[in-house]
Amino acid sequence: MTPLRIGTRGSHLALWQARAVATALENMGACAEIVTISTRGDRRQDVPLEALGGKGVFVKEIHEALLGGDIDLAVHSAKDMAAVSPHGLTIAATLKREDPRDALVLPIAAHEMPPYEHARIGTGSPRRIAQLRRLFPGATFDPIRGNVDTRLRKLDSGDVDVLVLACAGLKRLGFAQRISTPLDPSKCVPAPGQGIVAVEARRDDARTIEILNAIDHAPSHAVLAAEQAVVAELGGGCQLPLGAYAEIKGSVLSIRAVVASPDGSEVIEAEASGASTDPVESGTRLARQLASRGARELLKL
């Protein structure tokens, strides 16, 4: 059997995700081969993401390889993806969502958060900064890039006093013990898709899509669709201060979203719920609630 070629970035976390997909496929009887692709976002660690064009710089070359037939499927952190897949591609599967929360991470020798008026918090995410300004007024925020282990080394060497990282990445890479304080999603709404591994395929590749459907975790796919619908309706991107988080309980999907000005001085929040069988409707309706209260104007600041 010809192996399915899985395209991925070369970071430790990206490779973990690709191997998880490969294992799921192999457990279903398929063969898989991992193809590592260098992206502009990985090559330019010295430049802030917003200057490079946002998180899309982590997926552009992978999309090109998929559309060009060099790979059969692509594995991404869903939070790095645009709300709408490029023409010709589709999200064919998602793995079960890991812990979606953000986390405060202290230096390995520290035992408590430094006084907020003095804290240097390591994050370049406008979404996180806008929300954390409310929790830690007076703190300063330093953009910090690199793989998870690189950021932890910078933290432990004193470059910053505390890091903000996704719980999912820390747990997947064996750093769960470094999570000092998980942040409640009601206080720091996660990025759309945070904690979800998404698998893209070409829309016209029926064979691969059929195989991927067998490893799809439907509830995670549904909440991702709801969260991405918020972004798509508002026209925001993954580098803007916009958070969205959906949960399914029984047959009901509930979703919460926040839009903030970059400095965190203005925040618009809203919640909605609807049928879990129509996640896009709930996400779109929530986005329109936010828009009616000025969210689009806030995102353009």
> Is residue 241 within 8 Å of residue 260, measured between CB atoms?
yes
CA distance 119 to 140: 6
- Which residues does 51 contact at the CB level (< 8 Å), separation at least 6? none
Alpha-helical (H) ranges within the chain are 12-27, 40-43, 49-52, 60-67, 126-135, 148-156, 167-172, 206-213, 218-234, 279-292, 295-299
CA distance 66 to 6: 9
> Is residue 32 within 8 Å of residue 21, measured between CB atoms?
yes
Question: Beta-strand (E) ranges in 27-87?
Answer: 32-36, 73-77
Angle value at C-alpha 141, between 79 and 131, nearest 5 degrees:
55
- Which residues does 245 contact at the CB level (< 8 Å), separation at least 6? 100, 185, 189, 190, 192, 194, 227, 255, 256, 257
Residue 42 appears among annotated catalytic residues: no
Catalytic pick from 46, 70, 72, 80? 80
Sheet-wide strand order for 89-94: 32-36, 4-8, 73-77, 197-202, 89-94
Spatial CA neighbour of 56 closest among 240, 291, 287? 240
CA distance 283 to 223: 9
As annotated, the active-site residues are: 80
